[in-house]
Every structure is written in structure tokens, then in C-alpha cells.
Amino acid sequence: MRCQYCNSTESKVIDSRPTEEGNSIRRRRECMGCGRRFTTYEKIELLPLMVVKRDGRREAFDVSKIKGDMLHACEKLPVSMQQIESMAARIEQAAYASMDGEIRSSRIGDMVMAELKALNDVAYVRFAAVYRKFTDLGTFMDELQKLVNESKAGQE
């Protein structure tokens, strides 16, 4: 591993532990050249997963797009970056677990909606408004009414 400070390729591992999500290993290293410490992450190289879009196009799965959409939906809400990272990691794991090599964008959208619904109702409605392409107030109000009814049913 090349040192980010002096470019030396000689380093030793001081500490090694799995990340909270369990999908990578965090290694603390010490450079043998300059003595400075740095952190590296080791992750399994995943086979490419293709996302099949609504119009039939295919593109490579990119978890950063999911994180960006969730960040946008959670803007100005009491949702931490750690919560968003955890949700994105669960969605990524489920997408790769499909074992198909392809996943429909609608399936990913449904997973995002389920995660956001469990986390924050406002974030869920924000995401749903874009994802389900609400075009008028009626469809928006229908979705809100479903959410209210589910909330009432859960309280009884």
C-alpha cells in the first residue's frame, strides 16, 4: 500500500477490524518510510450489477446515486449521515443478493422507499413524490392518506 504522505510502498498493519456494516475491513497502517499513520479499507470486489431503467436502458449500479437521492429526501430533517450510509449499505447488499446480475430500477426505488418509510415519514413522502412522479395534488394527497391510515392502524 502506497503512503499518501511520502509515496513509500513499505508499510505495516497496526490494527485491523471490520467496519460497522461488515462489508469491508478497516486497516490502520504505519509507513516504514516516514513513520506517519494512515487508514485503508479492504473490500470484496463485486461482480458488476446492471440496473435496468424504466425505458429499458442498462447502466452500472452506483450506490452513490442512492445515497444522493436519500440525502436530498432527508434534507433539513434529523437524519444522520450514518443512518443514510446504513440504509444504502442494506439496499446495496439486497441488490447484489438478487444474484441475477441485473436489477430493475423500480425494485431499487421500492427498497429506498421502504427504508425511508421506516426512518422518517417526511423523507418518505419527499422521495415518493419524485419516484412515483406525482403530477397533481390528488395523487399526492392519496399517498399522504395511505400514510395517515397506516399510522392510525399501527397505534390501535
Helix 63-73 vs helix 121-131: angle between axes, to the nearest 10 degrees?
Answer: 120
**How far is the CA of 67 from the CAs of 2, 86, 88, in angstroms?**
29, 10, 6
User: Would you kindly state where each structural domain of the chain is located, as residue ranges?
Assistant: 11-43, 50-136
Put simply, whether the predicted model's pTM sits higher than 0.95 gets the answer: no
Q: For 97-146, what is each residue's pLDDT tens digit?
A: 886 789 999 999 999 999 999 999 999 989 988 888 777 788 878 888 88
Position 88 confidence tier, pLDDT thresholds 50, 70, 90 = very high
Sheet holding 11-18, edge to edge: 11-18, 24-31, 37-43
